[in-house]
Amino acid sequence: MSRAVLSIGSNLGDRLAHLRSVTEALGDRIVAVSPVYTTAPWGGVDQQDFLNAIVIADDPELDSRGWLRLGQQLEAAADRVRIQRWGPRSLDVDVVTCDGIVSDDPELTLPHPRAHQRAFVLVPWLDVAPEGTLAVDGDDRPLADWLADLDEAERDGVHRTDLLLVGDAPGQQDPGRQG
């Protein structure tokens, strides 16, 4: 069985629908889905806030590159265009970890090279894996410890919403949607 932790985010169009497209595509492969968070953009580019969540999924047919390809297909289906690094996007699907694999391949670095520096990854991940750990450069630590090491402003930029990706009323409108 291949288990992946996926970080998903959107800040263009119907952000909630873009995130839900991931959970709909994953279907019964989903093990856990965090609540949705709103987060300030990361990377210094002026843009709308993101909706972010973490999805943990299992699929015996996918390896780490399979998860990457699936994420890229989901991004393409949401009309993701890569114009500016850390710029606005309809959908971002990042493979954070997969089966404890460590890889420095530029196409798929695992674990995700900046996951331990991003509260928008750590906070929702803690919701679905409170005892979870993340290994960075041989340092395997609890997610809560990585989060505690972040600057207070980084942690304070992540806000839980009442939005859910599974199990809530269909058709719920994204309150931050921009045409």
Catalytic residue among 15, 20, 29, 80: 80
Residue with the two structure tokens 């404890």: 100
* Catalytic position from the list 20, 89, 118, 174: 89
At residue 49, φ and ψ (nearest 5 deg) are -60, 155
139 is annotated as an active-site residue: no
Catalytic residue among 49, 94, 114, 155: 94
Name the catalytic one among 14, 92, 118, 174. Answer: 92
- Three-class HEC string of 51-104: EEEEEEEECCCCCHHHHHHHHHHHHHHCCCCCCCCCCCCCCEEEEEEECCCCEE
Q: 135 is written with which tokens?
A: 């290994």
94 labelled catalytic: yes
Per the annotation, the verdict on 141 as an active-site residue is no
Q: How far apart are CA 63 and CA 69, in angstroms?
A: 10
Q: Under a CB-based contact definition with an 8 Å cutoff, are residues 128 and 54 in contact?
A: yes
In terms of Cα–Cα distance, which of 16, 17, 19, 21 is closest to 7?
Answer: 19
Question: What SS3 class is residue 44?
Answer: coil
Structure tokens that stand for 32 in this block: 């856990």
- Residue 151 bears catalytic tag: no
Catalytic residue numbers read: 80, 89, 92, 94
